[in-house]
Amino acid sequence: MVTSSFQVLAERPFRHVFAARAVSLLGTSMAPVALAFAILGQPGGSATRLGIVMAGRSVAQVAFMLFGGALADRFPRYRLMVGSALLGFAAQGTIAALFLTGTPPLALLTALSVVNGAAAALFFPASRGLIPQLVPGPRRQSANALIRLSENSASLAGAALSGVTVATIGSGWALAVDAATFLASAILVLTARAPAGRHATGHLTVLADLREGWQEFRTRTWVWVIVAQFALINLCFSPTINVLGPVVARQHWGGALAWSLVVTANAAGLIAGSLLAMRLRPAFPLLVATLATFGFLPPFFLLALPAPPWLAALSMLINGLTLDIFEVLWLTALQEHIPSDKLSRVNSYDALGSFALGPIGLLLVGPVSAALSARDTLIAAGTLVAIGNLAALLTPAVRRLPARLQPEQTATPAG
C-alpha cells in the first residue's frame, strides 16, 4: 500500500508541487523559532510584543482568505501560488535584512507580517484546490499524505536547524533562508506544467462567487462543525504553545535549543502521521479524524507543570502524529465531497472560520498569562480545546460521513 502510494510522484505536475511545498516549508518551519527568539532577545522583548507581530500575519491571512478562495476558483491556481510565493519572498527577505542590519521597530515588523499573511491567504485555497486537478480520485488520499509527508519532513529538518542556527549565527540568517525558499517554491510551481482546471463561471462579481461558496459551506453540517472545532483549537493551541512555549523554555529549560527539540519532535510526529495516513482507509473518515484531535490536549498540561523537556517533546510528537492523520482525512473528505469548481471557496471558508479566532488568541495570550500566570493560561486553554473536541465527536453528521473515492459520484447531501 505504501509503495503504491509513491507512484503518483512519477507525474511531473504533482512532483513539482510536492517539491515546491516541501522547499517552502523547510524555510518557513525555521521562521517561528527564529522570530520568537529574535523578538524576545530585543530590548523590551516580551510575549506581548511577539504576539502582536504574529497576530499581524494571522489577521491579514483571515482578512484576505475569502478573496483568495474566490480568485482560486476563477483563475489558474498555480499562477496564484507563484504570485503569493514571490510576495512572501519579498516580505520575509525584508524582515531578514532588518534583523541582520539592526533592531527593527515593532510597527515595521508587524506590517511585514501582514504582507506575509496576505500572501498565505492567496496561496492556501489555491494549493488545496490544485490537487484534484493533478491527481485522479482513487489516488487523492495518497497524494494528500505524500504532500503532508514532504511538508513534515521539511518541518523536521527546519525545526532541527532553527535552534542551531539561532544559537550559532543568529535569527536573521534563519529568516533569510526562509525567504530564499519562497523563491525556490515559486520556480518549482511555475515549471510544474499544471493542467487547466474547471473554474467557476456565470458570475460577474467576486461577491456572487462568495455567496455561492457560502451556500456550499453552510449546508454541510460536517464541514462547519469541524471548522467551529478548529476555530477553538486555533484560538488556544498556537497562541499558548508558540508564545508561552518559548517562555517556558527560557525560564526552565535553558532557551532555544531545548525548545527546538520540542518543535523537532512535533515535526517527527507529523512525518509518522503522514506514513500512517497512507495506510488508513476508514469507512467513516471524519470519525477517525475527530478522535485524532484529542492528541492536541497533552502539550497544554505538560507545559503547564512544566514537565521535563523530553516529556513535553513526547507530547508534541503525539500531537504531530494525530494532527497529520486528521489533516489527510479532512483534506480528502473535502476533495471527494465538494465539487471541484467550488472547492477553493469552501477551503477559504474553512480557513477563515478555523483561523478567525487565532489573532484574538495571539493578542490575548501575553496579557492573560501576565495576569493569571502561564500555568493557568495553559490549563484553561487545554480545557477549552477538550470541550470543543467532544462537541465535534458527538455530532452525527461528523461521525457518519462515509468515505468516497469515486469522483464521478454526485456530491453528498447536506449533513
Q: Read out DSSP for 263-320?
A: HHHHHHHHHHHHHHHHH---SSHHHHHHHHGGGGHHHHHHHHTTPPHHHHHHHHHHHH
CA 153 from chain center: how many Å? 14
pLDDT tens sequence across 24-34: 777 777 777 77
Mean residue pLDDT across the chain: 81
Provide the pLDDT for residue 311.
92
pLDDT tens sequence across 171-221: 778 788 888 888 888 888 888 776 655 555 555 577 788 888 888 898 999
Provide the pLDDT for residue 1.
47
CA-CA distance, 407 to 415, in Å (whole number)? Answer: 19
CA-CA distance, 175 to 93, in Å (whole number)? Answer: 7
Provide the pLDDT for residue 413.
36
pLDDT tens sequence across 346-397: 888 888 888 778 778 878 888 888 888 888 999 999 999 999 999 999 999 9
Percent of the chain whose pLDDT exceeds 70 = 90
Q: Domain segments of the chain: what residues?
A: 8-195+206-399
3-state SS class at 105:
coil
CA-CA distance, 58 to 37, in Å (whole number)? Answer: 19
Is pLDDT larger for residue 366 or for residue 8? 366
Reply yes or no on whether the pLDDT at 50 is more than 90.
no
CATH of region 8-195+206-399:
1.20.1250.20
